[in-house]
Structure 1
Amino acid sequence: MTDPIRTRREGAILEVTLDRPKANAIDLTTSRIMGEVFADFRDDPDLRVAILTGAGEKFFCPGWDLKAAADGDAVDGDYGVGGFGGLQELRDMNKPVIAAVNGICCGGGLELALSADIILAADHATFALPEIRSGTIADAASIKLPKRIPYHIAMELLLTGRWFDTTEALNWGLINHTYPAADLMAQAWDMARVLASGPPLVYAAIKDVVRDAEDSKFQDTMNRITKRQLASIDRLYSSDDQLEGARAFTEKRDPVWKGR
């Protein structure tokens, strides 16, 4: 049996490819491996950006492996660190993650893409949350989707399980950009290189603040920022990188970010 997850590392960028023929479905073992990969990415100070994609041209990921479930994988089993797919519940993931959706992206696969910070898609990609047709709930999507796109559209997609294409996904702001399939990974790497050249401590602070603000009042989060009660904010405000940003501006040069 081949490893269901392939990784490629170039400088500060990690590419993670889900490779489980025929459809890149995720079973418990694969989810645990993905959790380890993304936890290692999170904790490696030399890595700054991750790209998640699927092998082949037809499937990004259809989500949960129903064949594995029929063979005994419990739907409420041990998904490993980070929950399903290693990303949905991974604590303190303060680095940018790009989902490069190369094909069918449905169910838990769409929920996995929603766990990324930026979603790029091949122009032939299609999306759905078909759990309703199987008599179950798209749990993570039920939490996330109404916060990402208009409520009534999110509810239609959740309640009907219908398919939609990249044109509609772009229209609702669900994905950032779409490209011809042959150009998708090059575009994802270009985006990753832009992010990798940026200030990692600022990225961490942005993600931390966005997470905190999801369930807080505006002023409560602002108070935590000004009082440096968020660890990422405290680290940023005490960092050499913040001084470097000011120095680079006054010296009219590009900043050199060191992440400290």
Structure 2
Amino acid sequence: MAEGLVVEVFDRVGYVTLDRQPRRNALSHAVMEGLVETFHRFDHDDDVWAVLVTGAGSDAFCAGRDLKELAGRDSRDAPPPAPMRGLLRNPFEVVYECRKPVVAALNGAAVGGGLELAMACDVRIAAAHATLGLPEALRGMGANFGAAILPRLLPVGIAYDLLYTGRSLTADEAARWGLVNAVVPGEQLAAAAEDYVRTVLSRAPLTLRRYKASIQSSLQLPLSAALRLELAPDPYGSEDRVEGVRAFAEKREPQWRAR
């Protein structure tokens, strides 16, 4: 696995930790490649039903692209990497397209590419001291994924404001706008995120994957067209649907099998 990225699978959860604390968990080229590889693997791993992404330490979830690495490339007259156009797929796009539920635990600052990574996840739980922003306009860079997804998560005027000014939101401000789902004290973040993921795991996995496919496919469609999308997986003909109904009738917890 890529240096600076810790990946584990335990009890149906894929755990992804950005671990470059001296660089505030910034995204190196190797880490971005590792994210693409990891999420592609998780997407096709039947033993992974959900993914939890966080950063090491308490200072930063992810400080965005490693600008020192970029500066080194510039000093060698090498063009900066352009993942959306090059051989390396955009890691944020790969995270966003993962068919499994993906939760981000924001243990600190999520700025630039760090916020883009967080927004690629389905649910965001933030430590109270976390900050969120897209400061690319202050560095002459372009948050391509962020500019595309931010107005899908926030009112358009707020998205313009954050992109134009590069200012950061506190965790509480982000929660008021719905950019994060919950804010908890920093020392409680790991437990809160784990509890949330365990709640997700207690739900029918094929149903959740269909929900995600439906949401992502229908966001820009009229309701009449969205209702007629042919989406997979189909939970109605699954063993899990039979188990869910049977468990309800027998007054017990269902035992999901994702089939």
Superposed, 1:89-238 pairs within 5 Å as: 89-90=94-95, 92-224=97-229, 229-233=230-234, 236-238=235-237
Distance (whole Å) between structure 2 residues aligned to residue 50 and residue 59 of structure 1: 19
Matched, 1:33 2:19: no
**Could you give the per-residue CA deviations for residues 113-138 of structure 1, whole angstroms, max 9, x where no partner exists?**
00111101111111111011122322
Letter in 2 for 1:64: R
Alpha-carbon offset, residue 10 of structure 1: 2.1
Which one-letter code corresponds to 1:8 in the other structure? E
After superposition, where does 1:5-84 map in structure 2 within 5 Å?
5-20=5-20, 21-72=22-73, 74-77=80-83, 78=86, 80-81=88-89, 83-84=90-91
Retained in 1: the 8 A contact 2:39–2:94?
no
Which sections of structure 2, spanning at least 5 residues, go unmatched? 74-78
Task: Tell me if structure 1 keeps the 8 A contact 2:96–2:121.
Answer: no
Q: Which stretch has the larger CA shift, 134-143 or 66-75? A: 66-75
Say whether the 8 Å CA contact 2:95–2:120 is kept in structure 1: no
Q: CA deviation at 1:7?
A: 2.1
Which residue type is aligned with residue 238 of structure 1?
G
CA distance in 1, matches of 2:81, 2:4: 19
Tell me if the contact between 2:50 and 2:201 (Cα under 8 Å) persists in the aligned partners.
yes
Secondary structure at the aligned position of 2:17 is classed as: strand
Q: Which blocks of at least 5 consecutive residues in structure 1 are unaligned?
A: none
Deviation at 1:197, TM superposition (A): 1.9
Compare 13-22 and 98-107 and name the one that shifted more: 13-22
Deviation at 1:252, TM superposition (A): 2.5
C-alpha distance in structure 1 between counterparts of 2:167 and 2:173, whole Å: 12
Specify the alignment match of 2:76 in structure 1: none
Deviations 1:217-248 (A, max 9, x none): 21112112xxxx22223xx2221111222222
- What amino acid does structure 1 have at the position aligned with 2:82? D
SS of residue in 2 equivalent to 1:89: helix
Instruction: Give 1:90 shift.
Output: 4.8
Task: Please name the residue that 2:256 is paired with.
Answer: 257
SS state at 1:178 partner? strand
* TM-score, structure 2 normalization: 0.91
| Cα distance change of structure 1 residues 232 and 191 upon mapping to structure 2, 3 Å threshold | same
Q: Which amino acid aligns with 1:14?
A: G
What residue identity is the alignment partner of 1:29? A
Number of equivalences: 250
**Distance in 1, Cα, partners of 2:228 & 2:111:** 39
Aligned to 2:23, the other structure's residue is in SS state coil
Aligned twin of 2:245: 246
1:38-60: CA deviations, max 9, x gaps? 11111111111111111111111
Q: Which amino acid aligns with 1:80?
A: L
For the residue of structure 2 that corresponds to 1:98, the secondary structure is strand
